[in-house]
Amino acid sequence: MNQITQGNRGLPTFVVSSARALVIAGFFLCGGSALAQLGPGSGGPTNIVLESWSFYDHTNWLDDDGYSPVSFTNIAYSPLGDFQSMMVDTNVPAWLQYNVVENDGWTNLTIQQGTVTFWFAPGSWSSTNLGGTGPGEYGRLLEVGSYTTNSSYGLWSIYVDSGGNNLYFSAQTNDLSSSLTTYISAPISWTTNFFHFVALTYCATNTTLYFDGVPATNGPGVTVYPGPDVLTNGFCIGSDTNGIYQAHGLFDLVATFSYPLNSNDVWLNYQAEVPYYEINPLNLAMAYSISPAPSNPSYVPTFNVITGQGNLQSLGASSTCSYGTNAYQVWITNTVAAMVGSGTNATMNLTFTIEGGADYVPYDVFANSMLGSGTNKVPWTWMGQGYHCNTYMLTNLPNTTCFLILGTPQDTSGYGLTDAYELLVMQTSPSGPQTDSYGVPYAWYAENGINSTSAATQDPDQDGLLNYQEYQYGTRPQVSEGFGVWTTTSGYSSIP
């Protein structure tokens, strides 16, 4: 029943994007006129799921790629969910445990940054705020390691409290600090056998929790996690490693990714899968809750514009790697400009290395031939995203002055445009209004290759729909949708 696009391992693929950008570094090379404006990239790098568990095999509990669990006991199959789900709900120890890394080197779960998605329904409980009993213990949904009172081992866990009123994402390392770091928590009101889609994205700069495709809350970046010795003991779905702290519920279509998915991909994934839970006649709890759709959608779209390699050509990892004191301390080094050709046809190739910062954090690169920003300055050009400790090349640059600026993934507004992109390219304030007078988000313009904030009444594809109408109808402003309006006059015709 999985409707996600299939990757080269027969597993889902997604487009990765990122958010947050404060301008922090730049440099100067030679002298001249403004660079031609280049629109945003046509999407980000393709991200293939690490592993998924659809629970079609309820005998040996193989994952969707055929890997066996490390061990399992007292778990059961249920025809609920999308007609097959795994249930952990007993009064005796029960667990389902898999490797974090398989013997052949294949990784099933990353704990420093990535995404985990799954469908879950309480089995024998509902939230106490709805008059239920809750799971009666801190029920583990997915867990690596074990909690210790003195922080002597290590923990990475998604779990619910004993009353079933809150969901948490917490971690603990083995530093003997006795502290538990809770990155994120959100209230829940869940009922028996009603499936909810849960998604958690996490990286060095932020964490975001989604319920049923919509962001519930966000939190700080992941800085505490178990060590390699803990990872060798695998992870559990539905309980702790001792099978005591059970979720007492049903799981379906668990998936892991090595990068944070953007909010739009999470929403589309939920939308693609929820029909299979609603059409299962055995999912009575869900069927009874279905009501007519509202006349106005309640989902607020988000945009993930600044993503992908763009015009940057990767030359590989640098010979040395310097880390910043945090993810936002980043700089450019080893800049080399080389002339290509001669005379009026001469162009410039520019190589540089991104240093500082942190692993897995994408950094935007902007270029201009004039140093300055603001509403009366020449807009900058977004060139692409790079990662620290890597060297990149830009080719076919004008043989004139060239400035480069790095931006961090800070997104103050949360609309998907990094602060650096807003300041340098769109020339808007990250803390100011994010839509024009027609209600069109500036991020939508940027996403569709329009870097003007006053383009609502323009019609670049000449299909008869103005940009603000294209936004309202969900059509594309740069591609004719077949709504062309043609006029005629006496003796002449503009109809093709």
Q: What percent of the chain has pLDDT over 90?
A: 42
Q: What is the DSSP string of 99-128?
A: -SB-TTS-BS--SSSEEEEEEEEESS---G
Q: Are residues 351 and 265 in the same domain?
A: no
pLDDT in the model for residue 104? 93
Distance CA 159, CA 147 (A): 12
What's the one-letter identity of residue 21? A
Residue 1: inside a domain: no
pLDDT: which is higher, 147 or 465: 147
* Window from 115-129, 139-153, 245-259, 297-311 with minimum mean pLDDT: 297-311
Question: 349 has which bridge partners?
Answer: 338
Q: Are residues 53 and 102 in the same domain?
A: yes
Q: Are residues 409 and 309 in the same domain?
A: yes
Token pair, residue 224, equals: 């505490």
Q: Are residues 25 and 96 in the same domain?
A: no
pLDDT in tens, 246-300: 999 999 999 999 989 888 888 888 888 888 887 888 888 887 665 444 444 343 4
For the chain, give percent helix, strand, coil, nearest 5.
10, 35, 55
* Window from 103-117, 149-163, 313-327 with minimum mean pLDDT: 313-327
Residue 300: inside a domain: no
Token pair, residue 40, equals: 């945003």
Q: Are residues 78 and 194 in the same domain?
A: yes
DSSP class of 172 = E
pLDDT in tens, 317-359: 888 888 888 788 899 999 998 888 887 788 889 999 999 988 7
Residue 256: inside a domain: yes
* Number of structural domains the chain divides into: 3
Q: Are residues 81 and 26 in the same domain?
A: no
Given a contact cutoff of 8 angstroms between Cβ atoms, the answer to whether 375 and 423 are in contact is no
pLDDT: which is higher, 31 or 104: 104
Residue 327: inside a domain: yes
Structure pTM? 0.55
- The 3-state secondary structure of 270-329 reads HHHHHHHHHCCCCCHHHHHHCCCCCCCCCCCCCCCCCCCCCCCEEEEECCCCCCCCCCCC
pLDDT above 60 for 148: yes
Residue 321: inside a domain: yes
Q: What are the DSSP E strand ranges found in 85-205?
A: 85-88, 95-98, 114-122, 139-146, 154-160, 166-172, 181-187, 196-202
pLDDT in the model for residue 13? 30
Q: Are residues 358 and 483 in the same domain?
A: no
Residue 89: inside a domain: yes
In the listed set 289, 319, 341, which residue is the last one of a domain according to the structure?
289
Distance CA 166, CA 188 (A): 5
Q: What are the DSSP E strand ranges found in 328-434?
A: 330-340, 347-356, 363-368, 381-386, 390-398, 402-407
Q: Are residues 114 and 204 in the same domain?
A: yes
Q: Are residues 417 and 480 in the same domain?
A: no
In order of 77, 191, 193, 278, the CA distances from 285 in angstroms are 18, 8, 6, 9
Q: Are residues 162 and 254 in the same domain?
A: yes
In the listed set 257, 289, 321, which residue is the last one of a domain according to the structure?
289
Q: Are residues 365 and 486 in the same domain?
A: no
Residue 8: inside a domain: no
Q: Are residues 123 and 200 in the same domain?
A: yes
> Sign of the C-alpha dihedral, residues 152, 158, 159, 165?
positive
Distance CA 362, CA 384 (A): 9
In the listed set 289, 319, 345, which residue is the last one of a domain according to the structure?
289
The CATH number linked to 273 is 2.60.120.200
pLDDT above 60 for 485: no
Identify which of 367, 374, 370 has the alpha carbon closest to the alpha carbon of residue 393.
367
pLDDT above 50 for 45: no
Full residue range of the structural domain in which residue 392 is found: 18-40+305-453
Residue 297: inside a domain: no
pLDDT in the model for residue 443? 84
Query: Where residue 7 falls among pLDDT bands split at 50, 70, 90?
Result: very low
